[in-house]
Amino acid sequence: MKPPRLPTAFRRACTRLGVVPTRHVFAVRIAEQRAALFELTTQGNRRVAKLVKEFVCSTSKFGIGQVAGSNCTPLGLHRIAEKHGADAEPGTVFKGRKPIGHLRDGLPLESITTRILWLDGLDPGFNHGGNVDTFARYIYIHGFGDQTSLGRPASHGCIHLADADLIPLFELLPVGTLVWIAER
Question: pLDDT averaged over the chain?
Answer: 95
In a 13 Å sphere around the CA of 123, the CA atoms on its Cβ side amount to: 19
Rounded distance between C-alpha atoms, residue 156 and residue 50, angstroms: 31
Element (H, E) at 53: strand 46-58
Residue 47's Cβ-count burial label (10 Å; 0-12, 13-18, 19+) is: exposed
Query: Nearest-CA neighbor of 169 among 70, 57, 2, 67?
Result: 57
Does the structure show a pLDDT above 70 at 1?
no
Give the model confidence (pLDDT) of 125-177 as tens digits: 999 999 999 999 999 999 998 889 999 999 999 999 999 999 999 999 999 99
Domains and CATH numbers, the chain: 8-182 (2.40.440.10)
> Could you tell me if 161 and 55 are in contact, meaning their C-beta atoms sit under 8 angstroms apart?
yes
Give the model confidence (pLDDT) of 18-54 as tens digits: 999 999 999 999 999 999 999 999 988 888 999 999 9
